[in-house]
Amino acid sequence: MQVTRSIFSFNLNNLNPVLFVVFFLFVSLIPSRVNAQGVVTPPAFLDSWSEIKVWLESPLPQERMADKFSVRIDGRITPIASVTGSGEPERDRVLPQTPGRIILAGTIQSALGGKDWDPDGEVTQMKEEKRGVFTLTVLLPGGRYEYKITRGGSWDENYGQDFVRNGKNLALTVPVGGKIVKFWMDFERRQVLNSLENPEEVIAPTTLPPRPAAPKINKYRVASLTLAVPLTPEQITSSVIVMDNQGKTRTVVAREVLSQSAFYYPGADLGSRWSKGQTSFKVWSPVSTSARLLLFTTATGGKPREVPMRRQSAGVWSALVPGDLNGVYYQYAFESYGKRRIAADINCYSASPDSRRSRVIDLKSTNPPGWSPPVGNRPYVTDAIIYELHVRDFTIRPSSGVPADKRGKYAGLAFRGARVPGTNFRTGLDYLTGLGVTDIHLLPVQNFLTSSATEYTWGYATNLFNMPEESYSMTPNDPTGVIREFKGMVNGFHEAGLRVVLDVVYNHTWPPSGEGSAFWQTVPYYYFRTNDRGDLLNESGVGNALNDDRPMVRKFVRDSLLYWLTEYKVDGFRFDLMGMFQRESVLDWAKALRAQRPDVLLYGEPWTGGGPIRFGKGDQRGAGVAVFNDYFRTAFRGDADGSLPGFAMGGKVDENALQKAITGWIDSPGKKDGFTDSPQETINYVSAHDNLTLWDKVVKSLPGASLQIRGSAVRLAAAATLLSQGIPFIEGGTPIGRTKGGNPNSYNAGDIVNGYDWAIAPQFAAIRDYYQGLIRLRKAHPVFRLSSAEEVRRTLRFLPARSLPKNTIAFTLTGVADRSRKTYREYLVILHGGNEWQALSLPAGTWSVLADSMIADATPHDTVTNLLRLQPLTAYVFAR
């Protein structure tokens, strides 16, 4: 996911940013109150049966809180047992609270007496030494720390690794016994350095600089009110008000208390369930005092028929409506916190084209002819070869050879027989089957932006999660046709022997809050992470962050994933910004999915859109999921969008990093130096939809190079990806020379930049053939797709660096002779990342050539003995 992309459904370029911020705060903080001065007063929050948290306009010492508040439940005063300060105490700032203050936010903060990941934490506020250069010197205990740089006291502007905005966490390991560490940051040079890891650039200090003494009085931003008599589940819909001694009142909103077992609904029947004689409706909204079902005959307009809903256990509301309601549109009308809220059904399976109204549907009527089961069972996920594509991009141009009405549509992906006009070069689905990949990773297809019919987008802005996006359908105004066409695409892939992986974006929703968000309207504040002031935490970089800690949120994601697995028969999921989720959530979802499909493919991004990482590299160990291996990408590609070359482009790369990449980043014998338990946990890739395409990166890293040399770099990157241990992942279009003109973030660049230019594909036929050959080689020889760390340690050996030319790495793989499978006892792989011809003495004997500078295949096409001349940027595979 590229978190800097715009995801708004209207044009923000012409909107005054100050006015937008005011508007966003006004909408998102409902049911907050606005006082006579126009200041938004946040609600208070009920986080347990007896605890109410109140955000204070100004921090107070605890002794001044005791008589400040009173609580009324349904108009009657209820006694307060105690009032205490909540959270980390705040002291009067020693350092000035300047608008552009720079904070080193992360796990370092608690080691210094502050609060971890506090973007406004004074304890790690950096001092400006000269314009644009900031430093911080602290004494840190021994241990491993992660951190980022924030500016302005919030996560809105933050910098991580390689000074990338919203980038991955920086990490630092301090030796046992502790050290005084100086951090140095330069905005102009775009660098963050420290005296431990960069002693030549940052001189290690011997003493701590003096700091002004902090005031001794603890002050708190949050008051925690403990009720003398706890509330009961029956009182969850009562009117609870907090009043301070100046007469200001706040509505108390149920938040964390809704995670109590009394409000957990285990049933799998939320949403609408159609039958010819009747349809049942169920929705979870425990905070609502009433709920009504609004039935419409059309997608827009019209007066609804209102049906009262009955409250059941756990806060579920239900209605049973007789008759055949197939195709009827509906909404829910909730009354909560004194406000009427209209919402689509967050659990619905179909909706109007603008997503404002849900729709009852007979799902059996959407099954296409010959609706087929998934592709047969796969014992190991390392047998997968993933190809990433965007539904629209793949066939939108006339050069795809797909009929005009199907271009950019689900039907276009399933179309067979397409060729580049005037040639016999296969495109579309035939191209994918010919390439030999096994799994098709589709960029988001869950229902997203309501203006997507007229706005190009990658789709990382989901609105309703249980239905396909209509703009990719030939019949976008026919909800039944949308589903039928999507299933037809899945059917076409399955019949071609390909599996379907969905890129799912459960980490956030769009809109983030307010009247346009069905989640917000159904249960305000519950589905998203907020602070005690009620602000949405923008950990995703696009407005909100799903709070998967909460049982009914975690269940929502689980139910949605299972629905796509069973109803649409998809074969896997790629989780966007998986680093935002708790490990317990990922384990829960993986367990539920594997109970249905043991061979389901699960993987995701082990980072976030700016907030703290909860599920990073290493957390996937034993979880049954894989993570994108950006270490692998950096080793062979270099930086993401700059000109720094990786190994595949002639760059000098640490030998250990290359070896770890090739072995699937497992632990070395007797060490804990990897982040995986097995190769099944790493997604090996050099490029994806984010950042420069591989071809654009090669052009930038090898300026002035010939097309031949650039092709060699792409071949070497492909060989590294397909011959290393792990799950290979291929950026869509790379084998046919796909370029985006150097655009590193083309989320809104439209078809001219993003559409596959199949017209140039025949010029890259040799590159395509090389990819095909490598894929056949990997499939035919199991030693290239081992499933366990033990197999890798037993099978793979690296040749000593001293026996190899510079910028060369080589390894052997020992297999078992099986002529029926065309395997060999021993394989030799040589990756030469040098820009010059080099000579290499091969191990004694005659070797069969499976891959060289131009040809790769499962069967040998030549033999070689003794001395080998290594061509620049070339991979070799020999066997005997």
> Which residues does the annotation mark as catalytic?
576, 605
Is the backbone peptide bond immediately before 551 cis, with ω within 30 degrees of 0? no
Distance CA 344, CA 451 (A): 17
Tell me phi and psi for residue 876, to 5 degrees: -130, 140
CB-CB contact of 544 with 537 (8 Å): yes
How many Cβ atoms sit within 10 Å of the Cβ of residue 366? 22
Cα atoms in the 13 Å half-sphere on the side-chain side of 533: 13
- Eight-class DSSP state of 528: B
How many Cβ atoms sit within 10 Å of the Cβ of residue 499? 24
CB proximity list for 347: less than 8 A, separation 6 or greater: 270, 271, 283, 466, 556, 559
- Which SS3 state, helix, strand or coil, does residue 865 take? strand
- Which SS3 state, helix, strand or coil, does residue 308 take? strand
Rounded to 5°, angle at Cα 312 from 596 and 462: 50
CB-CB contact of 288 with 376 (8 Å): no
Q: What is the 3-state secondary structure (H, E, C) of 20-32?
A: HHHHHHHHHCCCC
Token couple for 299:
């997608």
| Sign of the alpha-carbon torsion through 517, 519, 524, 529 | negative
How many Cβ atoms sit within 10 Å of the Cβ of residue 398? 13
Distance CA 687, CA 740 (A): 13
Question: Strand runs (DSSP E) across 806-873, as ranges?
Answer: 808-814, 826-832, 838-851, 862-870
Distance CA 469, CA 165 (A): 30
- Eight-class DSSP state of 846: E
- Tell me the C-alpha to C-alpha distance, in Å, between residue 508 and each of 9, 463, 505, 557, 708: 15, 9, 7, 11, 43
| Sign of the alpha-carbon torsion through 69, 70, 72, 75 | negative
Distance CA 770, CA 599 (A): 29
The residue written with tokens 């519950």 in the block is: 526
Distance CA 32, CA 704 (A): 59
CB-CB contact of 435 with 502 (8 Å): no
- Tell me the C-alpha to C-alpha distance, in Å, between residue 708 and each of 85, 435, 773, 810: 68, 21, 19, 23
Helix (H) or strand (E) holding 487: helix 479-495
- Which SS3 state, helix, strand or coil, does residue 822 take? coil
Helix (H) or strand (E) holding 697: helix 694-701
Rg of the chain on CA atoms, in Å: 29
Distance CA 227, CA 465 (A): 39
Tell me phi and psi for residue 290, to 5 degrees: -155, 160
The one-letter code for the residue type at 846 is T
CB-CB contact of 42 with 534 (8 Å): yes
Pairing status of strand 626-628 against strand 682-684: parallel
How many Cβ atoms sit within 10 Å of the Cβ of residue 193? 18
Distance CA 556, CA 537 (A): 20
The one-letter code for the residue type at 172 is L
Distance CA 559, CA 570 (A): 14
- Which SS3 state, helix, strand or coil, does residue 873 take? coil
